[in-house]
Amino acid sequence: MTHALPLPDFEHERVEVVTGPRSGLLIIGALHSSTLGPALGGARLWTYPTWVDALGDALRLSAAMTLKNAAAGLDAGGGKAVLRLSPGEVLTAERRRDAFLDLGDVVASLGGLYRTAEDVGSTTEDMLVVSERTPHVVGLPSSVGGSGEPALPTSVGVYSSLRATLEAVTGSADVAGRRFTISGLGQVGGRLARRLRDEGASLTVTDVVGARRALADELGATWAEPGSEHLAEADVFVPAGIGGVLTDEVIDTLAASAVCGPANNPLAERAGAARLAARGVLYAPDFIVNAGGVIYLDGEAREPGAPETMQRVEAVGDTLREIFRSADEAGITPLDAAELRAKERLESAPPAARA
């Protein structure tokens, strides 16, 4: 379940909120910006206490995609889809298929201004169902010629960002002997945990899914009870689950030198970036760190198999280094610097792109 947060300001071009006629699920298609081109962002299937929580998440996530795609240099706007499960609700295979057919209709209603993809709770197979209703979907299974699961390229970009963050706080990008706390062991967090362990890092991990403790045992990692992981001493705290985990209380008791992870919108409030800075904790903006997946999906959609795509994914850490450098030079937080980078790109778009 996601953290309940207030609704953000409405800055979106268009938002569709429907009850799926086949599935009965609340489905939201949020188009934040098409300034740089058709929006690109995943479809999240998740449990929310109320429909307002689902709407708020869709608005925040789609706005973050505008920043992410702009800062990454993509000719793509920001959008996101959310399919809301009620607490305790479990979908049958038939109803799940119906839900993604309904999503396909929502995406189609946006007239090509939003391309959807796999995200938390959804899969490449779900995207294949979406493709039955609309061509505006990327990340189809590799078995049908699609680009497949983007978690691997996302983790590659996050890993390069972790090295850049370590370099900034310790003077060396070497992960061996460093301490990481990973909160969330899903597709991306699990991959990071394995890679960091293989390279000699010390790990504290947790997940709200108790069964994932088996991965901690396999890796020889210390398991922390969910909600207490931020208290573990670490060089880098890695939020890799659902957003909103960095509340004021967590920030004030965080026992790490830096925060760098793949979770979208980990700050419960934007002011948390300044609060972290006041404590001397380096914050790596999430929409820079986790851009590897969308860079990969966009590149594969344009030119499948192009080696330049993974080169751009691996360069995410270099982008983060530029953000840290800009922040230091201007005397601002890395979040301010990252948002400025995205804003400058959006404002420099030619009039035709902004029309």
Domains by residue range for the chain, with CATH: 14-144 (3.40.50.10860), 151-291+320-338 (3.40.50.720)
- The answer to whether residue 80 is catalytic is yes
The Cα 278–Cα 117 span in angstroms is 37
Cβ neighbors of 216 (< 8 A, separation 6 or more) are 185, 203, 205, 222, 223
The Cα 186–Cα 184 span in angstroms is 6
The Cα 110–Cα 115 span in angstroms is 9
Give which of 308, 310, 335 is closest to 320, Cα–Cα.
Answer: 335
Residue 258 CB: number of other CB atoms within 10 A?
22
The Cα 12–Cα 107 span in angstroms is 16
How many Å is the maximal CA-CA distance in the chain?
56
The pLDDT of residue 355: 44
Tokens coding 101: 């057919």
The pLDDT of residue 354: 44
Expressed in angstroms, the distance from the first to the final Cα of the chain is 38
Tokens coding 210: 């108790």
C-alpha distances out from residue 204 to 196, 238, 262, Å: 11, 10, 16
**Is the pTM above the cut of 0.85?**
yes
Tokens coding 24: 């009965």
Catalytic residue among 12, 32, 44, 80: 80
190: helix, strand or coil:
helix
DSSP 8-class letter at 267: B
Residue 92 CB: number of other CB atoms within 10 A?
8
Contact in structure between 271 and 294 (CB atoms under 8 Å): no
Cα torsion angle, 85, 88, 94, 95, sign: negative
Residue 24 CB: number of other CB atoms within 10 A?
12
pLDDT per residue of the chain (355 residues) written in tens, 0 to 9: 445 567 777 899 999 999 999 999 999 999 999 999 999 999 999 999 999 999 999 999 999 999 999 999 999 999 999 999 999 999 999 999 999 999 999 999 999 999 999 998 999 999 999 999 999 999 999 899 888 888 999 999 999 999 999 999 999 999 999 999 999 999 999 999 999 999 999 999 999 999 999 999 999 999 999 999 999 999 999 999 988 999 999 999 999 999 999 999 999 999 999 999 999 999 999 999 999 999 999 999 889 889 999 999 999 999 999 999 999 999 999 999 999 999 999 999 876 454 4
